[in-house]
Amino acid sequence: MTTCNCTQNLEAKYQELEKVFAKYRDVPGALIPLLQEAQEIFGYLPADVMKKISEEIGVPFSKTFGVATFYAQFHLKPRGRYIVRLCQGTACHVRGAAKVFEAVSNDLGVGRNETTEDQRYTLETVACLGACGLAPVMMVNDDTHGRLTPDKAVSIIKKYE
């Protein structure tokens, strides 16, 4: 009987996590770096991974969970391969960001801070992307796209399929 790739992949991730534990063993203040590296490995912070981290460094799970939920950099749910960030700042708002968001949301079939079932896209809104001259603006991972219309935004996202 052969193990499926998903199981092998998960086992590989836990092996990688063990290497991270070895790196931070007996290092004071290692909670945040451990969470960062665990998230890098898994793509988010599953509860069982946070429990392992708590056990490994001897802190209560409540502290680990508290840190993970306090900082915006940490995510407790799986995220998409493509993170779509739509600016909601003043310049973008005035130039139609709400309609761009609505079009993208409808096209992907997800709402704010949700991930598509196929784990391809996560849709987020942000206060500002710092590209006001290009408003309305969105980022797909590290790529910035500006002067959007609802149709243009949807067509850009389709290029990432």
The number of distinct structural domains making up the chain is: 2
Residue listed under structure tokens 């896209």: 121
CATH of the domain at 97: 3.40.30.10
- Average of pLDDT values for 57-67? 96
- Whether the CA torsion 105, 110, 114, 117 is positive or negative: it is negative
Retrieve residue 97's tokens. Answer: 């960001």
* Whether residues 63 and 88 fall in one domain: no
* Model pLDDT for residues 13-40, shown as the tens digit of each residue: 999 999 999 999 889 999 999 999 999 9
In SS3 terms, 14-33 reads as HHHHHHHHHHHCCCCCCHHH
Residue 114 placed within a domain: yes
Q: What is the DSSP string of 70-112?
A: HSTT--SS---SEEEEEE-SHHHHHTTHHHHHHHHHHHHT--T
pLDDT, tens digit, 9 for 90 and up, residues 70-104: 998 999 999 999 999 999 999 999 999 999 999 99
Residues 64 and 88 both lie in one domain: no
Both 18 and 50 in one domain: the answer is: yes
Residues forming beta bridges with residue 85, ordered by sequence position: 124, 139
Of 40, 70, 100, which one is at a domain's C-terminal end?
A: 70
Structure-token pair, residue 122: 């996560």
- Do 27 and 53 share a domain, yes or no? yes
Q: In terms of domains, do 49 and 86 share one?
A: no
Looking at the whole model, is its pTM more than 0.85? Answer: no
**40 and 104 co-located in one domain:** no
Q: Are residues 124 and 144 in the same domain?
A: yes
For residues 27 and 90, membership in a common domain is answered with no
Task: Please state, in angstroms and as integers, the Cα–Cα distance from residue 75 to each residue in 4, 39, 80, 94, 105, following that order.
Answer: 26, 8, 11, 30, 20
Range of 26's domain?
5-70
pLDDT at 26: 86
Structure tokens at 23: 């790196």
Instruction: State whether 98 and 54 are in the same domain.
Output: no
